[in-house]
Structure 1
């Protein structure tokens, strides 16, 4: 093999590896663009809604059961907690709820979200920090939080689907 062919193959391999490495970042960019454009269909293509809802219900039910431990009215609380969790998950796991989380905001019911004016949202966006990174070969986490509340981070977990596409599969809320 001549040197030009070796150099070309090396360059091609580096390009493919780099592109493979950056695929979750491209997915996040696509999600952010869809959220800013308020394009629910495009945003939904990056989310595995049934898996996200199930994971979030499990997390929220676990948090509520932990808080109810030792309470004599825990059995009654569990009944109400289940209904509350389902409602919360429906609000959070929606294109609008995800868009709010990507801006570092807590998802609110539609009526209150619409009441928030754009200047307040712009001020909140300026305070948002985002950290991203691989947790393994097929898992990538985006940590979103407001600078003045780093302990209130929302973690968006993406899983690799197929070889190069990524979908949101889990939302980890602050405890």
Structure 2
């Protein structure tokens, strides 16, 4: 088994930007998050954790960076599924993962189980989700943005044995 860690942070989009808020593969009420993709920091941190554990780089390595990248316009769940396919192509599979969202909003508690199901379905293993605030400190505490930290375990895929 191998462990990896990932981190992501984004600013909230302006109210007039009209961007939907995506977090942990779910749409939430409120202003969206800036980014070339849907800005889902939970999914992005998890992608980095999975790739790190498999020693396959990071989200920029797999999807590129910027408005013309392979990740531009994509949702976190789609990006996670692409990441898992990439891991499988390289002989690895997710075993377990955990994500911590750091933000004042949205409030995760009422939708935690739904978010865990969505993340777990996208990755193909159990994913736990927790949330915290920074008690008013920093950009997350002042409400300017949202961040996430993720850890993931991956393991080698057992080769399929063919019978003689």
TM-score by length of 1: 0.28
Larger RCO, structures 1/2 (Cα 8 Å, 6+ apart) = 2
TM-score by length of 2: 0.29
Bigger strand fraction? 2
Which of these two proteins has the greater Rg computed from alpha carbons?
Answer: 1
